[in-house]
Amino acid sequence: MPALSAFLRKMPVEALREYFDRPEIGLPIEFDWSVPEAELPGPLMRAIEEMSRVQRDRILNDAERVHALSDGPGQAALHSVAEDPAFLDGLANPHARSLWMFLKAQDRFRHAEEVGFTEDRRRGRMWAGYMTEVARVVQRDAVTRQAFVSAIKAFSGAAHVHVDIFDRVRTTHEGDECDLVQVTIYREGRPDDLLRFDDKGALVRQAYRPVFEAAVTYEPSTGGIEVIAHDKVTRQEIVRAAVTHLLGIEFTENRLPLRCYDLSVLLTPYDFPVDEEDRIEGVEVRELRLMPIDDNGRRVTLENMARADGTIWSMADEMFDARTPLREGFVITRAKLAVNVARQSG
């Protein structure tokens, strides 16, 4: 239970007490909060172990959610939806900020989780982007929302759909902040079943319908609209419904241009420039995939693991010598980088 352990160790005492003193948690009222802060996780863990299974599961799930938003991307997600980001900055540490939002602004906490889902999957296989009109107002009235929900149900066959629409910000590659509107869609899937243990410990199958999450973001200043969903058809239908009903305009399939990178500099050893203020200690190339210029049906992949000595270029020289693919006649089609960030206290 690493998340629970971190939750108990890194959370300020006042925040822990506010969480555990709630009646629904069920911590014994005689629990001794006068224990020194450094020693408090031990008694708390023992008290949790004595609770019912339902209570323990609830605490563990809460700790997982709070801990998940305590890292860098999670904190960025919290700040992107916070009503008062400066207030969050004034709290003791990332865990305290995450728990405060969890307790005091539950809808915004869920929106931060939705932001995390969206940002983590941008530019991956679940992503698509389009250009549409700038400065459109995303309609949020009940009639418009119902029309949007009905469109989602119609193409997916889902009986139940839930939609969140909220304002947020996104930090660009250049460090600027842009205003977005995010629409998160939860839709019910087809029937499935899973194995579980019943109250008597017997292994049984339980029928259920999975819930699928998708998201759309609209940037009024540029007209850019992005969609995250599991398959191409779903992405196109969701963005079509969003443009038609929420923006109130006709959808045209005008794809958003992708950011292009020149990877040819990685054919030879490359020293990545870094800014000290970003707390980046170094950047390592862990994987390169190459293709012969005159044969697009073949690929060569070089991978230098984190525990390996040297660089990916020295590895290629040692293993292939003059036959290394890191030479003229090959083009790099994919690179994986590892960014080493300095640890931050608190």
> What percent of the chain has pLDDT above 70?
98
Cα–Cα distance, 343 to 346 (Å, whole number): 10
- SS3 sequence of the chain: CHHHHHHHHHCCHHHHHHHHCCCCCCCCCCCCCCCCHHHCHHHHHHHHHCCCHHHHHHHHHHHHHHHHCCCHHHHHHHHHHCCCHHHHHCCCCHHHHHHHHHHHCHHHHHHHHHHHHHHHHCCCCCEEEEECCCCCCCCCCHHHHHHHHHHHHHHHCCCCEEEEEEEEEEECCCCCEEEEEEEEEEEECCCEEEEEECCCCCEEEEEECCEEEEEEEEECCCCEEEEECCCHHHHHHHHHHHHHHHCCCCCCCCECCCCCCCCHHHHCCCCCCCCHHHCEEEEEEEEEEEEECCCCCCCEEEECCCCCCCCHHHHHHHHHHHHCCCCCCEEEEEEEEEEEECCCCC
Q: Where are the domains of the chain?
A: 2-108, 122-246, 264-341
Structure tokens at 329: 């006649």
Q: What is the pLDDT of residue 158?
A: 96
Over residues 71-96, the mean pLDDT reads 95
- Distance, CA of 96 to CA of 103 (rounded, Å): 10
Residue length, the chain? 346
* Better-predicted residue by pLDDT, 173 or 219: 219
CA 28, 34, 40, 43: dihedral to nearest 10 degrees?
Answer: -40
Local confidence band at 68 (pLDDT 50, 70, 90 cut-offs): very high
* Each residue's pLDDT tens digit, 151-164: 999 999 999 999 99
pLDDT digits (tens, 9 = 90+) for 298-331: 899 999 998 888 999 999 999 998 888 898 788 9
In this predicted structure, what is the pLDDT of residue 84? 95
In the prediction, which pLDDT does 101 show?
98
Cβ(28)–Cβ(48) under 8 Å?
Answer: no
pLDDT score of 327: 82
Give the separation between CA 151 and CA 237, rounded to whole angstroms.
Answer: 9
The count of other CB atoms within 10 Å of the CB of residue 59 is 22
pLDDT class for 173, splitting at 50, 70, 90?
low
Q: What is the pLDDT of residue 344?
A: 63
Distance (Å, whole) CA 236 – CA 227: 8
Provide the pLDDT for residue 174: 65
* Burial zone of 271 (CB within 10 Å; 0-12 exposed, 13-18 middle, 19+ buried): exposed
Question: What is the predicted pLDDT for the residue at 197?
Answer: 92
Q: For position 188, what pLDDT does the model report? A: 97
| pLDDT on residue 240 | 97
- Are the beta carbons of 19 and 99 closer than 8 angstroms? yes
Could you give the CA distance from residue 156 to residue 303 in angstroms, rounded to a whole number? 40
* Model confidence pLDDT, tens digit, residues 6-39: 999 999 999 999 999 999 998 988 899 999 999 9
pLDDT on residue 345: 57
